[in-house]
Amino acid sequence: MTIEISEEAGVRSLHFGSDWVQGAMRIARPFALELDYTREMMAALLLRPDADWPRRVLLIGLGAGSLTKFLYRHRPQAQLVVVEIDAAVVAAARQFFKLPDDPARIRIEIGDGADYVARAKPRFDLILVDGFDADARPGQLDTPAFYLNCKARLGDAGLLSANLLSRRKDYRQSVERIDAAFDGRALAFPSCDSGNAIAFAAAGEAVKLTLAELKTAALALKKDTGLNLLPTLVRLEQARTCRDGLLEL
């Protein structure tokens, strides 16, 4: 895989041999989430608003390390396991995107994410799936077997957050696969302008939050981390994703 770095208007971007942006960092704010879809993946923190959650996180696909860095900075109790298929991506994240070198909190495994969840034994509070090849294809990371294995790796308050990216902008089949694996406990947020849609699925404890409760959690998250998810909640409400003003998983 060819790795390329570009910079424009204070933003450094990662590419895998194409114009497709695989990750980005605003140089002046290296721990902030620059891309819309990475911010929306962190909406998982609204669904489990306990400040002590998550404690164990699995990230499949490193990219520029944005999600890893955000959790490292703002959830200091979290142990992070990153599975990245290409060692060169890890090297690029360290050299160009300020990925912390802290083995006590960030463990990086070079390997295939689908293979990892099939054989791994630890349970995680949060699994973040954001893995694509140079042609923006997820491969085995968007299959029924993969999603079933993710569910098996989640603990009692476990959540899956998956970036669904399609050049056709049609995520229905992916959402149906996740929904089937999680026994109907999945939903997709309305897609971002970039064409990304984020799907969430729950295992164990139920998620049952009103839009008002989500807004309260979003205001607290913004105060604590600078991450503003209020626009996401507006889109949720406009799209009527939450039936009767209630988000349930």
170: its two tokens: 């049609």
CB-facing half-sphere around the CA of 247: CA atoms within 13 A:
25
3-state helix/strand/coil string of 158-200: EEEEEEEECCCCCCHHHHHHHHHHCCCCEEECCCCCCCEEEEE
Alpha-carbon span 145 to 87, nearest angstrom? 25
Could you tell me which of 130, 114, 127, 129 has the C-alpha nearest to residue 154?
127
Rg, the chain, Cα only: 17
* Residue 21 near residue 31, CB atoms below 8 Å: no
In the residue annotation, 130 being an active-site residue is answered as yes
- In sequence order, the β-bridge partners of residue 12 are 7, 25
Residue with tokens 């984020």: 198
- Dihedral angle sign, alpha carbons of residues 168, 192, 156, 132: positive
Q: Which of 86, 101, 130, 224 is catalytic?
A: 130
Residue 167: Cβ within 10 Å count: 10
Torsion of CA 144, 237, 212, 126, to 10 degrees: 20
Alpha-carbon span 74 to 217, nearest angstrom? 15
The catalytic site residues sit at 130
